[in-house]
Amino acid sequence: MKNSVLVFATNNKHKADEIRQVLGEGFEIKTLRDAGILIDIPEPHATLKENAREKSSVIKKLTGKDCFSEDTGLEVFALNGAPGVKSARYAGDEANAEQNIKKLLADMVGMDNRTAQFRTVISFMRGEQEYQFEGICKGQVTLAEKGVGGFGYDPVFIPEGADKTFGEMTMAEKAMFSHRKKATEQFISFLKNEAWQG
């Protein structure tokens, strides 16, 4: 079967690796770097849905090609949904994952309710039409970091039904619970149903 080539409007290699693993054979994913597009797309909006749309529509306009993006946030119940849409910049505009985790754990000191969820919104631009797919993974924020796998907030998040953090899991183990996998599966069904030819 011919591979469908999809441009993924992201600069995050971890996301691309996780989505490639779920998509499997039949689809080839090109990140912005793979496609030779060296830009950092702004995420100015107040919701994951709007930011995901921003990323896919900017790249659609730039390339003229159908493409997809995703925006993901960690939503902590006791923090009224924060870091949420600001997950990448929680500790400041230039913050790295370590600094974001430090701020999150500091903000949650003394909190008994550590319920949280990752939410991923995929935005697919095909022609003039946008389609969105969402995946949620519920779980708990730990008291301290555990594990060095994954990326972002993975070392401080235990998904429901697991006894270790995403940071202690292999990529395949994370996929058994993952928000990103759930959103990607819906996206795959859509692509297969629509028999998209790329």
Starting at the edge strand that comes first in sequence, how are the strands of the sheet with 67-76 ordered? 27-31, 4-8, 67-76, 115-126, 129-141, 157-159
Q: Which of 34, 40, 66, 71 is catalytic?
A: 71
**Helix and strand tally (H, E) in the chain?**
5, 6
Instruction: Choose one: 20-28, 58-66, 145-153, 189-197; the region binding ligand ITT (CB under 6 A).
Output: 145-153
- Which DSSP symbol is given to 83? B
Is residue 158 within 8 Å of 174, Cβ to Cβ? Answer: no
Nearer to ligand ITT, 6 or 88 (CB): 88
Distance of closest approach, residue 172 Cβ to ligand ITT, in angstroms: 14
Instruction: Choose one: 103-111, 127-135, 147-155, 188-196; the region binding ligand ITT (CB under 6 A).
Output: 147-155
Distance of closest approach, residue 70 Cβ to ligand ITT, in angstroms: 6
Distance of closest approach, residue 166 Cβ to ligand ITT, in angstroms: 6
Which letter, b or e, does each residue of 5-20 get, where b requires 16 or more Cβ atoms within 10 Å of its Cβ?
ebbbbbbbeebbebbb
Q: Catalytic residue at 34?
A: no
Cβ contacts of residue 35 below 8 Å, gap of 6+?
A: 7, 63
Would you count residue 151 as binding ligand ITT (CB under 6 A)? yes
Nearer to ligand ITT, 27 or 152 (CB): 152
- Which DSSP symbol is given to 112? S
Q: What angle do CA 57, 180, 48 make, to 5 degrees?
A: 45
Site for ligand ITT in 65-124 (CB under 6 A): 71-72, 87-88, 97, 118
Nearer to ligand ITT, 27 or 150 (CB): 150
Rg (CA), the chain: 17
Nearer to ligand ITT, 39 or 192 (CB): 39
The site for ligand ITT (CB under 6 A) is made up of 10-12, 15, 43, 71-72, 87-88, 97, 118, 150-154, 166, 180
